[in-house]
Structure 1
Amino acid sequence: MKKSRHRRTRLCVIMPLLVGMGGMAHAAPPASEATNRDHGIASSGPFEVVARFEGPGPSGIAVTHGRVFVGFPRHAVNHRGATLAELKDGRLYPYPDAAHSMPSDRPAAERLMSIHGMTTDTQGRLWAIDDGKLAGQPLAPGAAKVIGIDPATNRIFASIILHAPALLPDSHMNDLRVDLTHGAQGTVYVTDSSFGMSPALVVVDIATGRQRRVLADHPSIKAERGFMAVVEGRPLVFDPPRHPPAFVWGGVDGITLSPDGETLYYSQLTGRRLYGIPTRLLSDFSKDDARLAAGIRDLGEKGVADGLASDAQGRIYTTNFEHDAIFRRNADGSFETMVHDPRVLSPDGIFVDGNMVYCTLGQWNRLGGLNGGHDLRVPPYYLIRFPTDPAPAVDATRPAPG
């Protein structure tokens, strides 16, 4: 009798809740298709292929004054092509000229060795990080450097050689951003994701060439041990050398500035969180790591990412190599999928030019070092672009006045 009363009591409580949620619960209707399917498999988001590359794979990308520049690093494959090129009329031209961009016997400090990350400053000048590394060779003195080129004259106006202790033997200078609001001529922030286990942020004063490594021991900079990524359906674990072939390891990698230059955002390659730090702190050489660490904000999950980029509204675009996708983190912290397609494989360098987002697709997950020595890449490699926002809807029955 007591059990029956308890059952009726529970039903009296549950029934109004069900009604309040839209009535009695019902079983879902049967699937209308013969088999279940993953709705996430379908391509989504509009994008166009700007260029198809044979030969070496692309990495860095920057666009300024309608001109498109692409970097082809040599740290994975020591190719014989241009390491920096301008894309014009469907062709690649060594930039700023063949003497600098093509392989030669010139000293490492006097030519471009391996152009990786690229960006522009608020004056429209082109900047690149030369990681200096040729596959299978030690890092030569003067090879790793920050390069500034003025597209108006096609001349190199800045070449800041990176040196110890800011540069380590296992450094992998990956990407950079240029902040003209701090320092007499501005400040460059470089991510050293490291070929070994020594990542850090590198800060360079443009006017003096002064440079330093910071936050090398901070958790937001280091590669996450035991990190597993699922790429092309394969679980790849970062914990070498116990799990060869392993997922590529990497500390701080993606980097971007807020539109006002007040915040530098960054993330690890082997990590899923997004971090921010005020540039007024980071650019101040008097601030030690403890003071810098106190200013770091953990902005939460963003998925795996290689490159990061910001638009004028402060929205952050993140390349996601697990899902063949590019996501966007909106100002309120929400995320949306901008592009998802099987061709968006290993999205790498990313750049926002006005209302268009450019991204290089390099198939880096298929390199031989990650696949038991077998190079699984299949050219062509792509440069794609897509709009930041959909085109506005127009209606011929409601013409604009005037």
Structure 2
Amino acid sequence: MTAHLPRLNRRAFLAAAAALPVAGRAHAAQPALSVVTQAPFMVSGVAVAQDETVFLGMPRFAGMDNTYSVARVRHEGTPKAFPGGAWNAWRPGQDGTAAFVMVNAVHIFGDNTLWVVDQGAPPGQTPQPGAQKLVQIGIRNGQILRVLTFPDSIMPPGAQFNDLRLLGDLLFITDSGLGGIIIHNLKTGHTLRRLSGQGIMRNDNAHLHKGNGGRILRDVNGTRPQVQSDQLEIDPTGRWLYFSVPAGPLKKVWIADLLDPTLSDTAVAQRVRLVADIPSIGGTCIDTRGNIYLADAEHSRIVVLAPDNRRETLVQDHRLLSPDALFIDRARRLYIPCPQIERLPMFNNGVMSARAPFFVLSMPLPDQIRGIPLGNAVEG
């Protein structure tokens, strides 16, 4: 196996290739953003293995029909289909049960395996049975370790996997189609669907999904996106589940309440707490000090929201267009995919203005930002 080149060399090469200046800095001491990769297809998710290998999630949005959905970034910085073969070669009309169709998220937890969230059908289409799935992959050899699908009692028609987090043996997955949380025990195989369709899991239509400069996202007919429960994080104590729709606000609920069989969904919904109003976001991550990082799509920036509700801009840059699912690696680097999703026709008045290359950027986390101490990665 070819040895990894030093990270500094790779980033220096990519930064030179990008030849794009950093703009709109929040303050003079702000660390510079480096280019991790430039991809030919939209990248909405990024995950980094313990050996610093970078993996990408590449959704099959309009104009991205030939995407290979999941990629590993090679040493020189170019993405390559992963794990390879039929998994990366799906085309309309083909079987989607053993191929990536519409990848919405990727993540790596403490066990150093790659999890892929596949919604099973391009936007606006209905997934065939078994195509909507969660796939666990060995990062060294690309072996498919596990494929999880659920019956209609857990994922009824209209339900749509969005993102996932791990706490011990428990997988927590958001449903952005109907609104809800799926909790799957990897050890026992038992699965729960919680807060299904509850108002606190759905867009309230008072908080509007916006893009850069505060532009309200809508399609050619003026229809605004209706994305339900989307982002989720588990705090480092393992007690709270944070969640949000893209337009906000940010909320939290006791995990113990979600797991309590004596509490109905209505009872649990009444225990949900409001954390903060937030700008429209594409993604989040959380560190070991409980800071939540918000990918602010309205202002092309990353905002740190501290447990005491203080917030500060970590970085602001014109390349942070529709910043999406964030990831902190073991070396305390923050990774930011920039998929330009707000330029898709469904969000841009029917006009397709997203253009390759699609950037993934990164930066080292400082020890603190304006008095807010920053932590390490929460690995799950």
Distance 2:61 2:179 in 1: 17
Any idea what the Cα deviations from partners look like across 1:215-241, whole Å, max 9, x if unmatched?
A: 134333111214335533463167x9x
Deviation at 1:246, TM superposition (A): 3.8
Q: Please name the residue that 1:289 is paired with.
A: 265
1:201 partnered with 2:181: yes
- Work out which of the residue numbers 79, 85, 96 in structure 2 matches 1:108: 96
1:142 partnered with 2:130: yes
Any idea what the Cα deviations from partners look like across 1:340-363, whole Å, max 9, x if unmatched?
A: 112111011111113111111111
Any idea what the Cα deviations from partners look like across 1:97-130, whole Å, max 9, x if unmatched?
A: 2232222686322222222112222222222211
Q: Please name the residue that 1:332 is paired with.
A: 308
Q: Please name the residue that 1:94 is paired with.
A: 81
* Partner SS state of residue 117, structure 1: strand
* Partner SS state of residue 220, structure 1: helix
Query: After the TM superposition, which residues 17-166 of structure 1 pair with which residues of structure 2 at under 5 Å, given as runs?
Result: 42-44=24-26, 45=30, 46-54=32-40, 56-65=41-50, 66-77=52-63, 79-89=65-75, 90-103=77-90, 107-135=95-123, 137-166=125-154
Distance 2:255 2:25 in 1: 38
Any idea what the Cα deviations from partners look like across 1:35-74, whole Å, max 9, x if unmatched?
A: xxxxxx83333211111122x2011111111111101112
Q: Please name the residue that 1:188 is paired with.
A: 171
Deviation at 1:153, TM superposition (A): 4.4
Deviation at 1:136, TM superposition (A): 5.7
Identity %: 24
1:347 partnered with 2:323: yes
1:43 aligned partner, one-letter code: R
Deviation at 1:135, TM superposition (A): 4.3
- Work out which of the residue numbers 168, 171, 195 in structure 2 matches 1:215: 195
Once the two structures are overlaid, the 10-residue window that deviates more, 151-160 or 279-288, is 279-288
Q: 1:281 to 1:229 in 2, by over 3 A?
A: closer
Distance 1:322 1:353 in 2: 25
Tell me if the contact between 1:228 and 1:235 (Cα under 8 Å) persists in the aligned partners: no
Deviation at 1:247, TM superposition (A): 3.7
1:227 partnered with 2:214: no
Deviation at 1:384, TM superposition (A): 0.7
Distance 1:285 1:127 in 2: 28
* TM-score, length of structure 2 as denominator length: 0.81
Tell me if the contact between 1:139 and 1:169 (Cα under 8 Å) persists in the aligned partners: no
- Work out which of the residue numbers 261, 267, 271 in structure 1 matches 2:244: 267
* Partner SS state of residue 282, structure 2: coil
Q: Please name the residue that 1:33 is paired with.
A: none
Any idea what the Cα deviations from partners look like across 1:256-275, whole Å, max 9, x if unmatched?
A: 1212332221111132x211
Distance 1:235 1:113 in 2: 30
Distance 1:284 1:128 in 2: 28
- Work out which of the residue numbers 316, 319, 322 in structure 1 matches 2:298: 322
Q: 1:232 to 1:313 in 2, by over 3 A?
A: closer
Instruction: Give 5+ residue unaligned stretches, structure 1.
Output: 1-40, 181-185, 393-402
* Partner SS state of residue 201, structure 2: coil
2:310 aligned partner, one-letter code: S
Distance 2:224 2:314 in 1: 25
Question: Matched residue pairs, number?
Answer: 339
Distance 2:209 2:94 in 1: 40
RMSD: 2.6
Q: 1:391 to 1:87 in 2, by over 3 A?
A: farther
Distance 1:161 1:69 in 2: 23
* TM-score, length of structure 1 as denominator length: 0.77
Distance 1:345 1:387 in 2: 20
Task: Pick the structure with greater CA Rg.
Answer: 1
Deviation at 1:390, TM superposition (A): 5.5
Tell me if the contact between 2:211 and 2:217 (Cα under 8 Å) persists in the aligned partners: no
